[in-house]
């Protein structure tokens, strides 16, 4: 029994450190994709483009924040890390989540692998899918979605397209308007018919979120005689870059 006090002391320390760890809980964001909005056909030279607005928003418990790190010597791109905070405002961890790349047409840095756009022939998936070009984003608070959520600021926090820090606050969304470069799928020569326009956010699951299962939105559209109409699942977009 000589060593019993030491055992008691050791287990007491263990309990203290376990309590200490649980006091600092991570506040993790959650991206959600709204259905595409402002859907229209536009002619560009000899190409026909399906243009649309995209809104993703954060209904998680913490901000989505990414920041630029060092240049990756392998690919020459700027590494981007996600900053995950604790409830007490301290930083919990900063995992590597991708790259910032310079977007010539937008004239600012974009976060890679933020979203993918797919047009799928309804009833025959895979038969005639068309894809948007690689979609990159400047992430920022452009659209107030639900500022009644716990931790949601009343005003935008990430209000510029930063070259070092970008983010999306709790309760805020980021809308990319249909007129912006990249907000299109080439539908030249596509047969009239019903299609599903699918938006997937964080398709490579680089960003840590509370729910990885709500990142896809689908809207049913009909393309006929040079016009496009929504036939199900729609919503109206707000705000713009």
Task: Name the site residues for Ca ion (rule: CB under 5 A).
Answer: 30-31, 202, 205, 207, 209, 211-212, 214-215
Tokens of 38: 């402002």
In the bound state with Zn ion, the residue whose beta carbon lies nearer, of 138 and 187, is: 138
* Closest approach of Zn ion to the CB of residue 80, in Å: 15
In the bound state with Ca ion, the residue whose beta carbon lies nearer, of 65 and 202, is: 202
Taking the C-alpha atoms of residue 35 and residue 57, their distance in angstroms, rounded to an integer, is 12
Query: At residue 21, what are phi and psi to the nearest 5 degrees?
Result: -65, -40
Cα atoms in the 13 Å half-sphere on the side-chain side of 98: 20
Query: Using CA of residue 64, residue 176, residue 173, residue 56, what is the dihedral sign?
Result: negative
**Looking only at residues 85 through 114 of this chain, which bind Zn ion when binding is defined by CB under 5 A?**
106
Q: Which of 39, 50, 138, 152 binds Zn ion (CB under 5 A)?
A: 138
Mark the segment that binds Zn ion (CB under 5 A) among 69-77, 113-121, 137-145, 198-206: 137-145
Binding string, residues 50-89; x marks residues near Zn ion by CB under 5 A: ----------------------------------------
Beta carbons of 115 and 174 less than 8 angstroms apart: no
As beta bridge partners, residue 215 has none
134 binding Zn ion? (CB under 5 A): no
Angle made by CA atoms 40, 43, 46, in degrees to the nearest 5: 145
* Closest approach of Ca ion to the CB of residue 231, in Å: 26
């Amino acid at each position: 029994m000589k060593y019993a006090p030491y055992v008691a002391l050791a287990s007491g320390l263990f309990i203290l450190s376990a309590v200490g760890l649980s006091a600092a809980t991570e506040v993790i964001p959650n991206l959600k994709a709204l259905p595409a909005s402002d859907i229209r056909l536009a002619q560009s030279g000899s190409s026909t483009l399906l243009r649309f607005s995209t809104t993703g928003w954060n209904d998680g418990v913490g901000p989505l924040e990414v920041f630029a790190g060092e240049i990756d010597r392998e690919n020459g791109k700027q590494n981007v890390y996600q900053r995950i905070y604790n409830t007490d405002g301290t930083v919990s961890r900063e995992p590597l989540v991708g790259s910032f790349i310079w977007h010539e047409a937008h004239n600012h840095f974009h976060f890679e692998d933020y979203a993918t756009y797919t047009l799928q022939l309804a009833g025959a998936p895979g038969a005639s899918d068309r894809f948007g070009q690689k979609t990159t984003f400047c992430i920022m608070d452009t659209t107030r979605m639900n500022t009644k959520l716990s931790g949601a600021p009343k005003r935008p926090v990430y209000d510029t397209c930063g070259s070092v820090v970008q983010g999306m606050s709790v309760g805020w969304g980021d809308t990319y308007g249909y007129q912006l470069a990249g907000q299109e799928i080439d539908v030249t020569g596509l047969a009239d018919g019903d299609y599903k326009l699918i938006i997937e956010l964080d398709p490579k699951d680089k960003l840590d979120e509370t729910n990885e299962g709500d990142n896809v939105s689908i809207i049913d559209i009909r393309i006929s005689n040079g016009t496009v109409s929504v036939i199900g699942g729609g919503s109206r977009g707000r705000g713009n870059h």
